[in-house]
C-alpha cells in the first residue's frame, strides 16, 4: 500500500507525475480549485474582509476521495502549480483535510521531469502564506468590485450586466482607442522617392529627407509640385557615405505575455487558446517509447531566468547542431523586470530538455501543439546564440537645396536569426524592412542618374484598433492584471457583449461604450490604468511580505465605497429609455433609440408601444456592407433586404419572407462576389447557393445534407493549379504551379507530395543575368516596387521591373 500522497491540480499532471514517483506514492488530482466564495452572496465580511469559503458545487466527491487518501498516508505532498493560484489551491486542500493537514508538506517544481519531481520531494517546504494572501486579496478585490458594481449597472442599464476590476479597465482602453479614432483628423503630407542609378547595379531608391538642411515637411500639393520640379531637373550628387556594422541581439526566452503575443502574431491563436495548448505541453504528452513527458517548463511566469543546468545543456546542443562559431563565449543572461523579481525562483518558458527536438516529437503532437512547442524551443535556443551582424550603409544625396537619404542593410552574420525570427506585428509599417537591401558602391562626389520619381500624397492614419496581441502588450506595459489572467479578461469582455472582434480587431459595442462612460463618470479612479497598476503592485508587495493584505483591502474599500454611494444617487439611468440617435423611424418618423435586450443591442422606435419598429445595429462585415447607405436589394424578387440576427451572427434576409426566403451573408457582400445564377448541381440537379466558410466563399448544393457537392469560386469542383512554365529545381521532373491556401498564394512542385519544394514569390522562366540560374522570382515591395530577384543565395541579383508603357491609339 502506498505510504505517501501527492496532490496536484489536474488528472493529466497526476498521470505524468505518477510515472516518476514509484509504488510508495499515490498521486491524486484536486481538478482545479476545491473551495471558493459562494456564488449567490457577497461572501466577504465587509468589516474584517474575511472571505467565507465553501466547497465548490460538484467537487464533493473529489474532496471525499482526497480526505480518504489522506487518512491512509504517512506524508502528504501538495504539488500544485508554483504561483499564487497554485499556492492558494494547496492551502484550500490542506484546510479541508482536517487533522491530517499536520502531515502536509509543500513541494515545488517548475517542470514535470523525473529529476525535478524527485528533487522537490527530497526538499519539501511549507505553504507560502504570503502567496496565499496575495491570491486572497485579488479574489476579495474582484468580488467586492463585481458584486457591488454589477447590481448598479442592472439598475441603471439592464439586468444581467457585469463589471470587473480589471475587465472594466481593459474595456476602457478599447473605448478610449475607439474615441481617439473617431476624433482623429487626417493631415496631408507628401513624400518623394527617387529611383537612382549609380553606374553599377543595383538600382536603388532614395527618399527626400531634408529641405534647406531641415527635416522635409511637405503639407500640400502646391509645395509638393515645386519640389517635384526641382527633383526632376538637374543632377544628383553623393554628399556623404557612412558605412557601419549593426548588431541585433537575440530576444530572451518567452515569458507568458511574450508567448501569447508571438503566438497571435504568427499563428493568430487567441490568448486563451495559446495557454490551453501550453498547459498540455507542460503537463505531459505521450511520446512513444519515452512515455509521458512534460515538454516545457511552467508557462505562467514573468521571469526570464534560466537555470545553470539548462544553460549548459542548450550550449552543448547549439555547439553540436549549429557549430561553435555561433555560440557566445559565455551564456547570455537577461535582466529580470522589477515586476518579476517576486518570481525570481521561476524560470522562463523553455523546453524541459533539448533532447526532445521539435522534429523528433512532431508525430506525437497536434499541429497546434507542435507550433507552440517549436516556437518555445526555437526562441530558447536562439536566446543563447551570438548576435546577428549587418553591414549598414547610409548615403546622403544632394539635389540643389534638397537632401535625399538611401539606406542599405545586408546580413553579414546570421547569428541567432539562423534559428528564430519574430513574426511581423500589426505595428510594422514596412513589411519588407528585414529583407536585404543592398546599395551599389558609391563615394562622395559621385553623380547619379534619375530613372524615375514617385511623388505621393499621403494622409496620417488614426491609431489602430487593438488586436489580442497589442491589447496584451498594452495591458502589460500599463501593469494591469497579470499574463495568466489576460485570456479570461479578453474572453469576458466579448462574452458580456461589450466588444466584438472584426478582422481580428476589437470594436466596442454601443453597450460597451455606454457602460464605460458611466463607469468613467462615477469611478474614474477605480478604472484608471495607473490606479489599477498600483493595486497590482500592492498584490506583489503582499506576496513579498511587505504589505498586510487586510490593510490593502481597507485602503481600497474606503475609496470604493465612497464612489459607490455617490454613483447610486448620481449615475445616469438609461434603463427603459435607451439612447436617442439621429436615425428616424421609417414608419412614423420618430427618432430611433438604442436599447439593450437580453440578446444584445438594437434600434427601437421612440414611439413604442404605438410604433413597434425595430432594427438590428450592423456590426463587422454587415457594417462594411452597408457603409455607403445603399439599400441592399434581393436579386430574386427585387424587394429590399433587412439585417437580421441568428445564433450564428448577422445576415440579410428578404423582406418578402415567407414568399421569398432569400438570405445573404455579409461576408459575401463585402467580398463583392458576382451572384449570377450558377449551373445546377452536377450530382443531383438542384440549385447551387453561395455560402461562406472558414476558408472563404463557395457554392454548395441546396440539397445538403443529402447532397454534399460543393463548387469552389472559379468553377468546377476545384480550381486546378496554374502552371508557371518553370521546372522544379529540386526534382527536375515536375513544374512549379500556383496554388492557394488559407494564407494566400504560393508556388510548389506539381509532383507534391513526392516533392515538397515551394516558393512564396512567383517564379518566372527567365534566366538570371548574373549567375545564369534557370529562373527568377517576381516580388512587390513597398520600398522598391515591382522587382525581380534571384533565388540563389550566393548571387544577390535584384533589379526593378519596368512597367510597360501604354501607347494610346492615334
Bridge partners, 196 (sequence order): 204, 450
Spatial CA neighbour of 365 closest among 271, 284, 254: 284
Query: Alpha-carbon distance 603 to 610, whole Å?
Result: 15
Query: Alpha-carbon distance 87 to 65, whole Å?
Result: 20
Using CA atoms, how far residue 705 sits from 394, 646, 685, 687, 710, in Å, is 64, 20, 14, 14, 11
Is residue 298 among the annotated active site residues?
A: yes
Spatial CA neighbour of 79 closest among 107, 117, 114: 107
Sign of CA dihedral 514, 515, 517, 518: positive
Spatial CA neighbour of 328 closest among 314, 342, 340: 314
Query: Alpha-carbon distance 480 to 166, whole Å?
Result: 7
Instruction: Identify the three-state secondary structure at position 809.
Output: coil
Q: At what angle do helices 256-267 and 483-495 cross, to 10 degrees?
A: 50
Query: Alpha-carbon distance 171 to 177, whole Å?
Result: 10
Contact 595, 577 (CB under 8 A): no
Spatial CA neighbour of 595 closest among 497, 690, 468: 497
Contact 223, 455 (CB under 8 A): no
Query: Alpha-carbon distance 723 to 750, whole Å?
Result: 9
Contact 449, 196 (CB under 8 A): yes
Contact 70, 100 (CB under 8 A): yes
Spatial CA neighbour of 26 closest among 42, 15, 41: 15
Of the residues 264, 269, 298, 373, only one is catalytic, namely 298
* Burial class of 126 by CB neighbour count within 10 A (0 to 12, 13 to 18, 19+): exposed
Query: Alpha-carbon distance 762 to 744, whole Å?
Result: 12
Spatial CA neighbour of 562 closest among 148, 136, 252: 148
Instruction: Identify the three-state secondary structure at position 279.
Output: helix
* H or E segment and range at residue 425: none
- Give the position of cell 500599463: 478
Q: At what angle do helices 367-382 and 256-267 cross, to 10 degrees?
A: 120
Query: Alpha-carbon distance 613 to 591, whole Å?
Result: 11
Radius of gyration from C-alpha coordinates of the chain: 32
Spatial CA neighbour of 77 closest among 115, 35, 38, 107: 107
* Burial class of 79 by CB neighbour count within 10 A (0 to 12, 13 to 18, 19+): buried
Query: Alpha-carbon distance 124 to 107, whole Å?
Result: 5
* Burial class of 747 by CB neighbour count within 10 A (0 to 12, 13 to 18, 19+): buried
Active site residues: 298
Amino acid at each position: 500500500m502506498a505510504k505517501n500522497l501527492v496532490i496536484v491540480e489536474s488528472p493529466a499532471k497526476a498521470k505524468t507525475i505518477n510515472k516518476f514517483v514509484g509504488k510508495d506514492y499515490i498521486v491524486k488530482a484536486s481538478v482545479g480549485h476545491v473551495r471558493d466564495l459562494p456564488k449567490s452572496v457577497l461572501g466577504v465580511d465587509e468589516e474584517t474582509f474575511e472571505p467565507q469559503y465553501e466547497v465548490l458545487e460538484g467537487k464533493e466527491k473529489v474532496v471525499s476521495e482526497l480526505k480518504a487518501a489522506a487518512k491512509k498516508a504517512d506524508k502528504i505532498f501538495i504539488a500544485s502549480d508554483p504561483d499564487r493560484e497554485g499556492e492558494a489551491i494547496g492551502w484550500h486542500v490542506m484546510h479541508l483535510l482536517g487533522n491530517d493537514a499536520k502531515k502536509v508538506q509543500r513541494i515545488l517544481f517548475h517542470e514535470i521531469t523525473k529529476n525535478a519531481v524527485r528533487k522537490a520531494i527530497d526538499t519539501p517546504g511549507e505553504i507560502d502564506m504570503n502567496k496565499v494572501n496575495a491570491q486572497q486579496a485579488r479574489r476579495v478585490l474582484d468580488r467586492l468590485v463585481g458584486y457591488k458594481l454589477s447590481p448598479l449597472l442592472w439598475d441603471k442599464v439592464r439586468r444581467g450586466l457585469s463589471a470587473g476590476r480589471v475587465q472594466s479597465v481593459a474595456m476602457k482602453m478599447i473605448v478610449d482607442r475607439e474615441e481617439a479614432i473617431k476624433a482623429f483628423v487626417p493631415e496631408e503630407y507628401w513624400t518623394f522617392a527617387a529611383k537612382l542609378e549609380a553606374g553599377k547595379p543595383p538600382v536603388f531608391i532614395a527618399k527626400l529627407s531634408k529641405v534647406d538642411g531641415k527635416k522635409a515637411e511637405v503639407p500640400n500639393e502646391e509645395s509638393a509640385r515645386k519640389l517635384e520640379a526641382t527633383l526632376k531637373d538637374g543632377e544628383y550628387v553623393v554628399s556623404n557615405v557612412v558605412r557601419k556594422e549593426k548588431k541585433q541581439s537575440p530576444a530572451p526566452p518567452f515569458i507568458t505575455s511574450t508567448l501569447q503575443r508571438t503566438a497571435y502574431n504568427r499563428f493568430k491563436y487567441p490568448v486563451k487558446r495559446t495557454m490551453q495548448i501550453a498547459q498540455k505541453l507542460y503537463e505531459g504528452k505521450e511520446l512513444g517509447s519515452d512515455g509521458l513527458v512534460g515538454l516545457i517548463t511552467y508557462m505562467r511566469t514573468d521571469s526570464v531566468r534560466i537555470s545553470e543546468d539548462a544553460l549548459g545543456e542548450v550550449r552543448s546542443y547549439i555547439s553540436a547542431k549549429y557549430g561553435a562559431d555561433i555560440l557566445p563565449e559565455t551564456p547570455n543572461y537577461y535582466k529580470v523586470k522589477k515586476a518579476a523579481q517576486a518570481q525570481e525562483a521561476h524560470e522562463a518558458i523553455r523546453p524541459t530538455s533539448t533532447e526532445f527536438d521539435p522534429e523528433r516529437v512532431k508525430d506525437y503532437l497536434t499541429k497546434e501543439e507542435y507550433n507552440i512547442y517549436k516556437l518555445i524551443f526555437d526562441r530558447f535556443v536562439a536566446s543563447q546564440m551570438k548576435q546577428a551582424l549587418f553591414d549598414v550603409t547610409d548615403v546622403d544625396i544632394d539635389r540643389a537645396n534638397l537632401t535625399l537619404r538611401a539606406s542599405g542593410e545586408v546580413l553579414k552574420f546570421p547569428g541567432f536569426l539562423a534559428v528564430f525570427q519574430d513574426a511581423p506585428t500589426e505595428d510594422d509599417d514596412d513589411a519588407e524592412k528585414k529583407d536585404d537591401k543592398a546599395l551599389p558602391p558609391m563615394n562622395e562626389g559621385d553623380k547619379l542618374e534619375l530613372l524615375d520619381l514617385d511623388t505621393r500624397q499621403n494622409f496620417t492614419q488614426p491609431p489602430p484598433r487593438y488586436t489580442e496581441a497589442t491589447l496584451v502588450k498594452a495591458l502589460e506595459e500599463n501593469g494591469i492584471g497579470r499574463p495568466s489572467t489576460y485570456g479570461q479578461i479578453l474572453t469576458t469582455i466579448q462574452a458580456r457583449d461589450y466588444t466584438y472582434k472584426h478582422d481580428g480587431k476589437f470594436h466596442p459595442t454601443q453597450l460597451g461604450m455606454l457602460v464605460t462612460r458611466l463607469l468613467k463618470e462615477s469611478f474614474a479612479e477605480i478604472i484608471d490604468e495607473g490606479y489599477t497598476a498600483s493595486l497590482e503592485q500592492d498584490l506583489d508587495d503582499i506576496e513579498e511580505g511587505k504589505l498586510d493584505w487586510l490593510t490593502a483591502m481597507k485602503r481600497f474599500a474606503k475609496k470604493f465605497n465612497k464612489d459607490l454611494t455617490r454613483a447610486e444617487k448620481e449615475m445616469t439611468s438609461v434603463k427603459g429609455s435607451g439612447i436617442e440617435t439621429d436615425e428616424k423611424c421609417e414608419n412614423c418618423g420618430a427618432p430611433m433609440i438604442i436599447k439593450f435586450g437580453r440578446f444584445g443591442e438594437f434600434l427601437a422606435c421612440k414611439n413604442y408601444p404605438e410604433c413597434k419598429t425595430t432594427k438590428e445595429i450592423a456590426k463587422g462585415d454587415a457594417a462594411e456592407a452597408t457603409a455607403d447607405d445603399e439599400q441592399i436589394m434581393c436579386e430574386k424578387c427585387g424587394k429590399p433586404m433587412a439585417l437580421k440576427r441568428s445564433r450564428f451572427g448577422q445576415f440579410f434576409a428578404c423582406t418578402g419572407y415567407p414568399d421569398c426566403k432569400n438570405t445573404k451573408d455579409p461576408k459575401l457582400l463585402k467580398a463583392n462576389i458576382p451572384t449570377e445564377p450558377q449551373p445546377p448541381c452536377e450530382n443531383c440537379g438542384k440549385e447551387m447557393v453561395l455560402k461562406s466558410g472558414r476558408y472563404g466563399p463557395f457554392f454548395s448544393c441546396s440539397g445538403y445534407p443529402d447532397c454534399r457537392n460543393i463548387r469552389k469560386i472559379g468553377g468546377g469542383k476545384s480550381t486546378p493549379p496554374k502552371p508557371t512554365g518553370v521546372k522544379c529545381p529540386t526534382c527536375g521532373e515536375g513544374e512549379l504551379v500556383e496554388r492557394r491556401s488559407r494564407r494566400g498564394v504560393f508556388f510548389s512542385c506539381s509532383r507534391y507530395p513526392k516533392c515538397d519544394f515551394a516558393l512564396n514569390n512567383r517564379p518566372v522562366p527567365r534566366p538570371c543575368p548574373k549567375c545564369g540560374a534557370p529562373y527568377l522570382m517576381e516580388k512587390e515591395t513597398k520600398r522598391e516596387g515591382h522587382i525581380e530577384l534571384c533565388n540563389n543565395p550566393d548571387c544577390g541579383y535584384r533589379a526593378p521591373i519596368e512597367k510597360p508603357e501604354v501607347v494610346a491609339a492615334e
